[in-house]
Amino acid sequence: MFLKWMLLFSALACLGYAQYACVWYRSAPICGTGNDCPTTYPNMMYHADSSGNAQYCPNSFGSKCWEGEKNLCCNANVNLQNTNTYSCGSY
């Protein structure tokens, strides 16, 4: 019984990030550089250093980068032409 609960908890934890179509990847204040994204969101679509400079998903950007930028990483089904059809988060 314990093993079943552990497997269920692990599966739900993995799905926690998958609720979003896109996520802002990296942590402020030192955000870093490059086009890296987590494996659950493999497509780097955009990058910015603050919510004011974020063309997409500014409400979920989080804290401003003092150095570097965050990447907007999305799953394969995202079309940035229509931003009203998906939800954004941070990773």
Model confidence, pTM: 0.74
Q: For position 86, what pLDDT does the model report?
A: 77
Q: For position 56, what pLDDT does the model report?
A: 86
Quick one: how far is CA 51 from the chain centroid?
14
Quick one: how far is CA 13 from the chain centroid?
15
What Cα–Cα distance (Å) separates residue 57 from each residue in 15, 21, 24, 71, 82? 20, 11, 8, 11, 12
Three-state DSSP state, 86: coil
pLDDT tens by residue, 7-46: 333 333 344 455 889 999 999 999 999 999 999 899 898 8
Q: For position 7, what pLDDT does the model report?
A: 35
C-alpha to C-alpha distance for 16 and 37, rounded to whole angstroms: 16
C-alpha to C-alpha distance for 56 and 1, rounded to whole angstroms: 44
